[in-house]
Chain A
């Protein structure tokens, strides 16, 4: 039997105390918070008891119960009840309170959360006659409840807020005096008090996020759920804040270049991994770095941070040299050509760099050589001799992938210089038998050549110290931490920083004059040199860790260079460099269940996206919607169409459009007067809550999750309009008309907030909404700046502009054609349209969005709720008729005729509801 525990995890106090008290013999192993001990659970959970049978117990309460049972103390109803209460009532409250106190510094609110459970326990204990919860001696319930409450009751901050609890305190003291309990606390908290729990708490999902998520019970609608959870106080506060309206703020939204760190501001430096110049980026590259960083940068600017976002193309290296040879150009010409390709792709995707540079500049040489000399002077470089293959015919050393030969292990004749494709073993290029230069087919010779190595082992200690600090205080994604740790665990080795090439930054050392820097050493320095090309005062960003917060965005394969290797270069250079504080790494994006492959022509590459006729904003939306946050995800055409049609068209677009149309149609384009009733206030509070989530999530760079908040708001909005039926009330009496006015006014203000929240994700749509509503230019910033919350930014009387639909439907033929064109494979079974005559498919070219008829839009004009109601009734009636006929075993032709009628009616109904009239088609294709 073995017990796995981790330091600073409050649940481990329970089981360790249980173990000591019962005296059960068991190995205890200390592991890290992120160790996944239980194979079938998705998240790392601790403590875990591995039973002799090989089963895992991952519930601390079940573990304690088990330990007590082993020593003959069986469960009782009393004890069971207390344990159940602890798991369902006390524990959630304790975690929420700790979260509020330790991470948000709200001790008052933390106390409020605990009042209920502590009050209950006080009452329970005051009625007991035994010194402990269930018996005369310490039992399992005492251990479990005591350990759960330990962080609260041992902390003086809570003393004031939880009030006097004489019975609870007396009992707590009695249990605390049990030596086993004392020892368990010491073991978990290590004498660091509650601070020891901080790390653990940060890893937990914020408890109140779970609170409001709607229960998935089958029939409860979301509206009802959220009403249940919102307290009246919250509702009132939100409504009052809203009524204050926009503050007069004159802070200019214009950027003034060069942006430099400012005293007293939050100075944020954002970089995205430098794309390699001679590859056209695919969608995975785009979402992995530039687009993710762009959303965060746009968000930061809205929040009023002083933010600089730089990126550029990484241009040096063998691959460029080779590409140049292929195309008959010089490397510089190749770089110029492809740099322009990259620039135009990112421009089309609306990536708002403050500066998009390149690595082939004088500044790069200057800064790289400076760092090199500093490392050299401080003794962080080693010399060593390396054996390499050289082709005399081509007059150059061959990089691993430019040599082929017979595999020394399996005799496969076409093994590459780094790996054999047949047996998969790694190969050192000089071990290849009968090596051949891939360019000229001549036999290369083995030559030894002197190279310089960065002495990583010497810097390891310093690196680890820095890493602990950076990971502890900043936001590093889990995969980034994981990859970094596994590199450190394997031990660092010296890494070669020079190469026998021409196309690179020259090594300034006279003994190595014909060499250049290896790209991995050179490329990250590009961040600095690109900034230096942007402003001569670049050092204010890069040698200023006191004032600057650095965010690096990348895909996970790039992590070690940013977390281990590059920081070592900078630490070794000892020049007060700004090191990364927040390392944000995505997982991989696949393409229709396979990989993007340029050579096989599979997948959508950056330059092709615009030829699809799908607007850049929709691409951004869909890529961000499936941003591989935490796990790999896959791009799928069918899913893209579905998300466009369901989320953008029928949810978001539909709501914003209706809100605007009601103002134009019913109130001559003027925002009507709003007299808030409870229902309106509740909507405002719901919206506020989602906005708060959005801010919390984006602050933590949870880009995909924050997008869901936007969609939730428009869902709430749609429901609000649906329930209140302003189109009906406008035809009623005075009171009804006023009600219609309020609902319309609140809705159009929600639409205005949505435009602000959309800015980081869909900048064009965001601007279009504000243009249509003629919203004040600063409203986006005003609502996100300094947590002001949801404000009434379009007050009564405000005149809006012309409202028109924001999104186009993606037709299934169009999507099918695109899917074929870009080579993604899907099995036929999943494609109900598989039997469509091929001629239709081939001729269905993607339509430019402007040409598509606006009538297909699910806007006010198309969706007609009144008609929908009538049709729904007709459908029900016709359905009954069909069933009756079938029951009477009527003639087949009669039944068929009636069924056809029913299907027609259903189609009309779908149209009237603004849904896709062929839902079966979509559903079948949904993955």
Chain B
């Protein structure tokens, strides 16, 4: 799973030469073998490394503040979203929905690595939402639809259909 993500990310970043990855441990943590140093371990670590390699550091944030926000959502993705329980899914959707109420991207007004990895991580959840639930988490759905149509992001994942008009009357949930 994580490996597919990393190879999609490579394409998205325009890296020509694909890297070789392996996994370690029960949780299948990705490992990047590196010729000029020790191996790198961990999805976020490797993803950040790739961004540097592609010289696209703006994807990690343009200021110290934004960089911190990006780091925070990357951490949220791997500690809260990955392997969460069914009950927890609802909580996460609710939190993201509230957070995204007045935001275009996770770190404010520009697209960052946090959007890409959160999109990869949450895809299977959004995929399984009923139309009604997608409307309930309207801000998440809007953000998700936006990211999946962001040039070059959606590589290995199926598109999720998002209706433009509301089907259910609001305020009934």
Contact = CB atoms under 8 A, between A and B. Distances in A.
The residue among B29, B42, B48, B49 with the most chain A CB atoms within 10 A of its own CB is B42
Nearest to B68: A66
B99 A63 contact: no
B17 interface: no
Interface residues on B, range: 35 or more
A80 interface: yes
Interface in B38-95: 40-45, 48-49, 64-65, 67-69, 71-72, 75-76, 78-79, 82-89, 91, 94-95
Interface in B87-131: 87-89, 91, 94-95, 98-99, 101, 108, 124-125, 127-128
B68 A65 contact: yes
B144 to A, nearest CB: 15
Contacts of A42: 91, 94-95
Given A215-B83, A215-B84, A85 B68 contact: no
Interface residues of A, number: 41
A845 B60 CA distance: 63
A218 B128 contact: yes
A41 B26 CA distance: 29
Interface string A206-231: 00001001111110000000001000
Contacts of A830: 168, 172
A41 to B, nearest CB: 5
A62 interface: yes
A52 interface: yes
Nearest to A218: B124
A616 interface: no
Contacts of B78: 84, 87-88
Contact of A80 (B45, B95, B128): B45
B42 A84 contact: yes
A155 B99 CA distance: 39
B169 interface: yes
Given A53-B65, A84-B44, A593-B172, A216 B72 contact: no
Contacts of A85: 41-42
Nearest to A51: B65
B86 A84 contact: no
A215 B67 CA distance: 29
B124 A216 contact: yes
A216 B93 CA distance: 13
B149 interface: no
Contacts of A59: 71-72, 75-76
B43 to A, nearest CB: 8
Contacts of B26: 228
B48 A77 contact: yes
A467 to B, nearest CB: 30
Nearest to A85: B42
Contacts of B40: 77, 81
A486 B70 CA distance: 36
B173 interface: yes
Given A40-B95, A41-B95, A62 B68 contact: yes
A896 B27 CA distance: 49
A88 B64 CA distance: 23
Nearest to B29: A88
A927 interface: yes
B138 to A, nearest CB: 14
Contact of B68 (A51, A81, A84, A215): A51
A213 B44 contact: no
B65 to A, nearest CB: 5
B15 to A, nearest CB: 16
Contacts of A216: 84-86, 89, 124-125
Nearest to A229: B26
Contacts of B124: 216-218
B71 A77 contact: no
Nearest to A826: B172
Contacts of B95: 40-42
B79 A87 contact: yes
Given A88-B79, A827-B172, A214 B86 contact: yes
A329 interface: no
Contacts of B127: 218
Nearest to A827: B169
A866 to B, nearest CB: 30
A66 B86 contact: no
Contacts of A91: 79
Contact of B69 (A52, A55, A70, A593): A55
A829 interface: yes
B142 to A, nearest CB: 16
A768 B117 CA distance: 52
A214 B85 contact: yes
Given A214-B85, A215-B83, A927-B173, A81 B65 contact: no
B56 to A, nearest CB: 16
Contacts of A66: 64-65, 67-68, 71
A324 B48 CA distance: 76
A58 interface: yes
A96 to B, nearest CB: 14
Contacts of B43: 84
Nearest to A52: B65
B98 A39 contact: yes
A57 B86 contact: no
A234 interface: no
B68 A77 contact: no
B77 to A, nearest CB: 11
Nearest to B107: A55
Interface string A29-61: 000000000011111000000011101011101
Nearest to B26: A228
A87 B64 CA distance: 21
B84 A69 contact: no
The residue among B42, B44, B72 with the most chain A CB atoms within 10 A of its own CB is B72
Interface string B144-158: 000000000000000
Contacts of B72: 57-59, 62
A213 B68 contact: no
Interface string B10-33: 000000000000000011010000
Contact of B45 (A65, A77, A827): A77
Nearest to B78: A88
Contacts of B44: 80, 84
B41 A40 contact: no
Interface in A784-840: 827, 829-830
Interface in A582-614: 593
Contacts of B84: 213, 215-216
The residue among A53, A216, A927 with the most chain B CB atoms within 10 A of its own CB is A216
Contacts of A62: 68-69, 71-72, 75
A276 B86 CA distance: 39
Contacts of B101: 40
A87 B85 contact: no
A34 B99 CA distance: 20
A540 B84 CA distance: 48
B87 A213 contact: yes
Interface of A: 39-43, 51-53, 55, 57-59, 61-63, 65-66, 69-70, 75, 77, 80-81, 84-85, 87-88, 91, 210, 213-218, 228, 593, 827, 829-830, 927
Interface of B: 1, 26-27, 29, 40-45, 48-49, 64-65, 67-69, 71-72, 75-76, 78-79, 82-89, 91, 94-95, 98-99, 101, 108, 124-125, 127-128, 168-169, 172-173
15 contacts: A42-B95, A59-B76, A66-B71, A75-B48, A75-B71, A80-B45, A85-B42, A88-B29, A88-B78, A88-B79, A210-B88, A214-B85, A215-B84, A218-B128, A228-B26
State the 6 A-B residue pairs at the shortest beta-carbon distance, nearest first: A213-B85, A66-B68, A40-B98, A62-B72, A84-B42, A40-B99
Given A40-B101, A62-B75, A66-B67, 17 more contacts: A40-B95, A42-B94, A53-B65, A57-B72, A61-B75, A63-B68, A65-B68, A65-B71, A66-B68, A75-B48, A81-B40, A81-B42, A88-B79, A216-B84, A217-B124, A228-B26, A927-B173
